[in-house]
Amino acid sequence: MNLLAAAIAVGLAAIGAGIGNGLIVKSTVEGIARQPQLQGKLQTTMFIGVALVEALPIIAVVIAFIVLGG
């Protein structure tokens, strides 16, 4: 049962991160299309946001390993 719980947790975290990254990049592209002179600032903010969103699946994998190990 722990194996199934870990697999579901990691899968949902990956789906959530994929959706989050898509929304972040979509908004950045829209912002650059509206104001091209802000491209550098928008891309920097986008990369920070993507990094924070990508932390979620990494944390989920660590928690899954803890659940399976314990």
Number of domain units in the chain = 1
The confidence score (pLDDT) of residue 37 equals 97
Average confidence score pLDDT of the chain: 94
Handedness of CA 59, 61, 67, 70 (dihedral sign): negative
Instruction: Tell me the average pLDDT across 3-24.
Output: 94
Q: What is the CATH number of the domain that holds 20?
A: 1.20.20.10
Report the predicted TM-score, pTM, of the whole model to 2 decimal places.
Answer: 0.83
Domain of residue 45 covers 1-68
The confidence score (pLDDT) of residue 70 equals 64
The confidence score (pLDDT) of residue 23 equals 97
